[in-house]
Chain A
Amino acid sequence: MGGVQADKKGGQHYYKEEFPYKGSRELAEKVLGLLGEKGIEAEGVKRGLDHGVWVGFKCSTLPFIYFRRHTYIYLNLREKSFGLMFLTGSVPPREFPHYPYRPSLPLRLGVPYSALFPRASHLLAPLTRLPHNLLRYGSPQSS
């Protein structure tokens, strides 16, 4: 309901934004397997790319396109960067009692993920911040 009311106030164009990407089951299975090996409970689910990811990536590429002022570069960029597969993972819930005062899950995740990507074959780009703004979207339990 909050979203619907907000639409009437403004920001409708936000909902028309697009960001082409493709997920990767193969990469997801690889990550899930490695997490399991390291004793970190993980579950594969289906979920779209949230704005915590796509807004930042969109901004990080647009200025470059603008800088070149050439449509071809934009198309070429889509091949090179937006053509990459995106694999997203969750962060711990905000109410996690020890978070962030003990080594948190994202930090501990760095160990298996560094093993997963010891050398350059993938980019690892955690867009981290404390979970917030999750009234309507977030954990499967709250959706």
Chain B
Amino acid sequence: MGPPTPVYFISHGGPNIMYETTHPAYTALGNIGREIVTKVLPSIAGGAKGVVVFSAHWQGGRSKVFVNVGEEEGLVYDFYGFPDVGFPTPERRGFGWGAG
């Protein structure tokens, strides 16, 4: 038996946080990711099978929990109303990773 499965409370950001790489929250998220990848995943016997997430952007019923049973449901782009303030372009972001 390994250690108890860790639980993380993560305050998510708006999609803009993906580009605000100098924001403290961005650094904090990265630290969490590093911890999971370098410490938590290797410590799970047999490897981790999945991630269970409760999202603040999915509202259930008064006393009912909804659970996604789909396997290929893609992403929900549930945001809107952002002003055009000149977000960094993918090139300026400096990652070897395209915007999509």
A binding-site residues for B, Cβ under 8 Å: 2-3, 5-7, 9-11, 13-19, 22-25, 27-29, 31-32, 35, 40-67, 71, 74, 77, 80-81, 84-94, 96, 105-106, 109, 113, 117-140, 142
Interface of A is mostly: mixed
Count of CB-CB pairs between chains A and B under 8 Å: 368
Cα-based distance from A118 to B50 in the complex (angstroms): 14
Do the beta carbons of A40 and B72 come within 8 Å of each other? no
Binary A-proximity of B16-59 (CB < 8 A = 1, otherwise 0): 11100100011101111110110011011110111111111111
Cβ-closest chain B residue relative to A116: B52
B binding-site residues for A, Cβ under 8 Å: 1-18, 21, 25-27, 29-34, 36-37, 40-41, 43-46, 48-85, 87, 90, 94-97, 99-100
Q: In the complex, which residues of chain A have a beta carbon less than 8 angstroms from the beta carbon of B60?
A: 89-93, 105, 139
Do the beta carbons of B78 and A32 come within 8 Å of each other? no
Do the beta carbons of B13 and A65 come within 8 Å of each other? no
Residue in B52, B62, B90 whose CB lies within 8 Å of A125: B52
> Given A23-B71, A43-B64, A49-B75, A124–B15 Cβ distance below 8 Å?
no
Query: Which 5 residue pairs across A and B have the least CB separation, nearest first?
Result: A63-B30, A10-B84, A60-B33, A52-B57, A16-B100
